[in-house]
Amino acid sequence: MNPRGTMIVTGGGRGIGAATARLAARSGWAVAIVYRDRSADAESVLADIAAAGGRAIALRADVGDEAAVARVFEAADALGPLTALVNNAGVTGGVARVDALDPAQLDDVLRTNVRAPFLCAREAIRRMSTRHGGQGGAIVNVGSGASQLGTPGVWVHYAATKGALDTMTIGLAKEVAAEGIRVNCVRPGLIDTEIHAARPPGQLEEILRSVPMGRAGTADEVARSIVWLADGDASPYVTGSFIDARGGR
């Protein structure tokens, strides 16, 4: 058995999710890595965890689909009691001004960034809440500094979904605090991942100049904050809180 129980990481095949899965496995969790596509990336994370002596499984699913989410949590039950959920899966919905936004883009970003975290949180609460016979646990939402900045001209639609995740964090933390579940959020800023590849030419360099620390962050740096919040020994009295991993921006 893994001493910290089981952690589910959505969007766990690459970027911040992959870094979180690797660190969580090293820290004593069994990890369920959930991914939508790019199975080779998920298998690579699995191989890294196995090589380090950890325990993990990879589960392919669209976390915006209710039935798929139910299957993910049922499969993860085989690893042991669920103690942490990391709602990391997210999409930008593509670069567009609001007056040029395709409704299909909006539907996709709302499905993945808002609907999916709620569906996953619902399943996690049913397992972790003392109200349902559970032993407690933690939910960590991966938001974005975009919720504070709005990202005009690029992806206001994406920023709005991350604003919804902020509100969910605050409300859900209060809703389940007495049931042994802590709910927190990490809001990354400019992180060296693929998500920024679609930005207009030159914009990334312009943003980088506005970061007081003078550099982009790394997925591993964000993962440390996520795992700290998931760890009931490290952060037992922290709930409804936000860590802005934005280099001061």
Reply yes or no on whether 35 is catalytic. Answer: no
**What are the phi and psi torsion angles at 187 (to 5°)?**
-115, 95
Average pLDDT over every residue of 81-94: 96
pLDDT at 202: 62
Sheet holding 82-87, edge to edge: 56-60, 30-35, 6-10, 82-87, 137-142, 181-188, 242-245
Q: Which domains does the chain have, with CATH numbers?
A: 6-242 (3.40.50.720)
Task: Calculate the alpha carbon distances from 145 to 45, 81, 194 in Å.
Answer: 26, 32, 16
CA–CA dist 183, 199 (Å, integer): 31
pLDDT per position as a tens digit, 40-72: 999 999 999 999 999 999 999 999 999 999 999
CB 60 within 8 A of CB 11: no
Structure tokens at 247: 């280099």
Please check the confidence at residue 140 and state whether its pLDDT lies above 80.
yes
Q: Which of 35, 73, 155, 158 is catalytic?
A: 158
Structure tokens at 51: 């090589």
CA–CA dist 6, 81 (Å, integer): 6
CA–CA dist 102, 100 (Å, integer): 6
